[in-house]
Amino acid sequence: MPEGDTIFRAARTLQRALAGRTVTRFESVLPALTRVDADTPLRGRTIERVEARGKHLLIWFSGALVLRTHMRMHGSWHIYRPHERWRRPHHSMRIVLEAHDIHAIAFDVPVAEFATPATLERTRQIRDLGPDPLAEGFNADEAAARIRARGDSEIGDALLDQTAIAGIGNVYKSEVLFASRVNPFTTVRDLPPADVDRLVAMAVKFMRANVAEGAPAAIETYRGLRRTTGRYDPAARLWVYGRAGKPCRRCGSPISRRRQGPHARSTYWCPRCQSANETGTDAASGLGPQKNQAPPERTR
């Protein structure tokens, strides 16, 4: 599933491609969108800006209209020049947004709706969002307080709660917990406040590193781009996610995987590094040399 960094990068690319341009054509296979376009046409409106809020992508048009999309598992936005061949089949198209020399296509987007600026802020999915680690005004104290308020939840579930902290998905959940040496199945009430603070700080560190300027500007769902280890080798880019049964990059123990929470989301962790009695040490720093360690990622 695209996580907050994916959506942030998509919004940034769309912003650079579309902001200030005039819509020349709009098409959608979604009846709710076509009805709005029929009543108040998109054609002739200016695309004012594109932004991300957690996992939501917002396109703002002149005339007080906003398009909100959510990618869920398989959605993506692509940018094409006119007459350029799409990289996804036509039957996957959900929205076509054209300007004079740029076409933005949404594929397999399951959630899309128009709103006014006022109704958007009242939309539950936007109104109830927790602080976004990628937002300029991110409030780490508020995010930590919202997580601590979910005392009955396991911390792995609490990090996925978009009303506590926005944008974290399954990958970052597992990676942040490993790097902070916190067991995913510990209830929030049993975590020292300092551990929660560290988890928030680690989420900010990992997510912002993956949207830094100079990072690849692809706007599709990540395919081997996201890194938390800082290593150059694509095979060594993550600490635990997707590595069930493989040796922990820190201690060599086999990585475990278990379904967690009401939605049975996969959680990956190292039972040794993240045992319940581990002290909170940043596993992503201060590590000694490791066997077959890839060279550090180069800066450009």
DSSP labels, 124-140: HHHHT----TTSTT--H
Given pLDDT bands bounded at 50, 70 and 90, which one contains residue 185?
Answer: very high
Q: Which of 55, 98, 133, 175 is catalytic?
A: 55
Output the furthest CA–CA distance in the chain (Å, rounded): 63
Percent of the chain with pLDDT over 90: 81
Mean pLDDT of the chain: 89
Given pLDDT bands bounded at 50, 70 and 90, which one contains residue 1?
Answer: low
Whether the predicted pLDDT of 260 surpasses 90: yes
Under a CB-based contact definition with an 8 Å cutoff, are residues 180 and 192 in contact? no
Please give the pLDDT value at position 178.
Answer: 98
Give, to the nearest 10 degrees, the angle between helix 193-209 and helix 140-148: 130
Please state the rounded mean pLDDT for residues 178-206. Answer: 97
pLDDT digits (tens, 9 = 90+) for 5-15: 999 999 999 99
pLDDT digits (tens, 9 = 90+) for 195-234: 999 999 999 999 999 998 765 444 443 344 689 998 878 8
pLDDT digits (tens, 9 = 90+) for 35-75: 999 999 999 999 999 999 999 999 999 999 999 999 988 99
Please give the pLDDT value at position 289.
Answer: 32
Residue 295 known to be catalytic = no
Please state the rounded mean pLDDT for residues 131-137. Answer: 96
Please give the pLDDT value at position 286.
Answer: 34
Residue 2 known to be catalytic = yes
Whether the predicted pLDDT of 95 surpasses 60: yes
Cα dihedral 121→167→75→213 (10° resolution): 110
Q: Which residues have a Cβ under 8 Å from the Cβ of 277 and sit 6 or more positions away?
A: none
For residue 27, the surrounding DSSP H or E stretch is strand 25-28
Given pLDDT bands bounded at 50, 70 and 90, which one contains residue 295?
Answer: very low
Q: How many CB atoms lie within 10 A of CB 47?
A: 24
Please state the rounded mean pLDDT for residues 172-189. Answer: 98
Under a CB-based contact definition with an 8 Å cutoff, are residues 93 and 105 in contact? yes
Q: Between residues 127 and 232, which one has the greater pLDDT?
A: 127
Spatial separation of the C-alpha atoms in residues 42 and 47, rounded to whole Å: 10
For 25-29, 213-217, 290-294, which range has the lowest pLDDT when averaged over its residues? Answer: 290-294
Hey, is 251 helix, strand or coil?
coil
Please give the pLDDT value at position 214.
Answer: 63
What domains are defined for the chain?
Answer: 4-127 (3.20.190.10), 140-269 (1.10.8.50)
Q: What is the pTM of this model?
A: 0.86
Residue 84 known to be catalytic = no
Under a CB-based contact definition with an 8 Å cutoff, are residues 59 and 21 in contact? no
Please give the pLDDT value at position 282.
Answer: 52
Please give the pLDDT value at position 221.
Answer: 38
Given pLDDT bands bounded at 50, 70 and 90, which one contains residue 277?
Answer: low
For 75-79, 122-126, 147-151, 260-264, which range has the lowest pLDDT when averaged over its residues? Answer: 260-264
Given pLDDT bands bounded at 50, 70 and 90, which one contains residue 152?
Answer: very high
Please give the pLDDT value at position 231.
Answer: 87
Report residue 181: phi and psi, to 5°: 60, 45
Q: Which residues have a Cβ under 8 Å from the Cβ of 117 and sit 6 or more positions away?
A: 60, 64, 66
